[in-house]
Amino acid sequence: MELLQLKYFQITAKYENVTKAAGELFISQPALSKMIRNLETELGAKLFDREGKHIVLNAYGKKFLKRVDQAMYALEQGLTEVKDMKQVKIEIITLYIAVGSMLLPNIVRQFRERYPHIRFNLTQHQAQIRKGMAYDFAITSEIIEGSEQIVLLEEEILLGVPVSHPLSTFSTVALKDLEHEKFISLTTGNALRRTTDRFFAHLSYDPDIVFESDDPATVRGLIQSGLGISFIPSVLWNKVLTEDIRLIPISEPLCMRTIYLSWSAGKPFTDTEKSFFEFIIQLFRDISSSPEQRIAKGD
């Protein structure tokens, strides 16, 4: 059974007249009649009854026409959808994310659920930005020269210690009292490392860093293993911690960091970029007001 046979049958059924149907299809009457006979032979049933000089759909023909109409409509819809897809303009958002990398899967998934034609070009390497790589948005804890920005989050930095560590019983700690502790840290190229290094600027000692890693998950794993203590962002790292790590507020100095959303100064937003801008702002509002964060703040 061929698609052309079905189309010819559909037009013949429309007119119940071979002459009119052949005229619309621009074929000869004998050719159309042969096509219908071949279709009936394949089906094993007559589709038309002859009444004098006219043909009319019989019960088999009416039943079959109903399914042919459905099939032809579905095919037309498929053709339309493919043509529409070809006409959709694929837009790309270039996102530099220096902090909060654990949010990336949710950012991409949730935004593309709303805008499936959007593609992301992602980078987490500051060196590329310093070399002049263009970006649409950046999520950072540092202001980028030549950019505009808004504050997404003010985040307290806590001390993460193994539950087996003597410090785990403390309600607060001061950095000046941690001179003899072993620290686990991110590598010097990391934005959080640059932030935490500044906490020691006015202290009489430099932290004894015994392990460095460029992977936050590795840092957390080393704390769990009891190999040292480290700094933990209270909001963005909250959902990736385990019961093996105790979080302790730092009483002195004040240990905070600011998370910014940045974009190139003076650059007008496209409609898609405006939607992404609003999406990120709402995402961080939701994170800041989550039940876990209200509990952590004592609300």
Are 209 and 254 part of one and the same domain?
yes
User: In terms of domains, do 72 and 109 share one?
Assistant: no
Among residues 39, 84, 90, 88, the alpha carbon closest in space to that of 65 is found at: 39
Tell me: do 189 and 165 sit in the same domain: yes
CB 245 within 8 A of CB 164: no
Q: Does the structure show a pLDDT above 90 at 172?
A: yes
pLDDT tens string 173-220: 999 999 999 999 999 888 899 999 999 988 999 999 999 998 888 998
| Mean pLDDT, range 259-273, rounded to an integer | 90
Do 298 and 180 share a structural domain?
Answer: yes
What is the pLDDT, as a whole number, of residue 294? 39
Q: Are residues 144 and 72 in the same domain?
A: no
**Could you give the CA distance from residue 191 to residue 181 in angstroms, rounded to a whole number?**
22
Q: Is the pLDDT of residue 236 over 70?
A: yes
Q: Same structural domain for residues 62 and 109?
A: no
Domain boundary among 86, 117, 137: 86
134 and 280 fall within a common domain: yes
Task: Identify the pLDDT of residue 130.
Answer: 55
What is the rounded end-to-end Cα distance, in angstroms, of the chain?
71
Q: Are residues 132 and 211 in the same domain?
A: yes
Q: Same structural domain for residues 162 and 209?
A: yes
Cis-peptide, bond into residue 253, ω within 30° of zero:
yes
pLDDT at 67 over 60: yes
Tokens of 202: 């006015």
Residue 130 and residue 221 in one domain: yes
Give the count of domains, the chain: 2
- Beta bridge partners, 245, equal 162
Residue 245 · residue 215 · CB < 8 Å: no
What would the pLDDT profile of 89-135 be if each residue is shown by its tens digit? 678 899 998 888 888 888 999 999 988 888 898 887 665 555 556 78
Whether 117 and 53 share a structural domain: no
Range(s) of the domain holding residue 32:
3-86
Pairing of strands 91-97, 118-123: parallel
| Last residue within a domain, chosen from 86, 108, 140 | 86
User: For residue 33, is pLDDT > 60?
Assistant: yes
Tokens 């794993």 identify what position? 221
The percentage of the chain sitting over the pLDDT mark of 90, rounded to a whole number, equals: 47
Q: Are residues 130 and 97 in the same domain?
A: yes
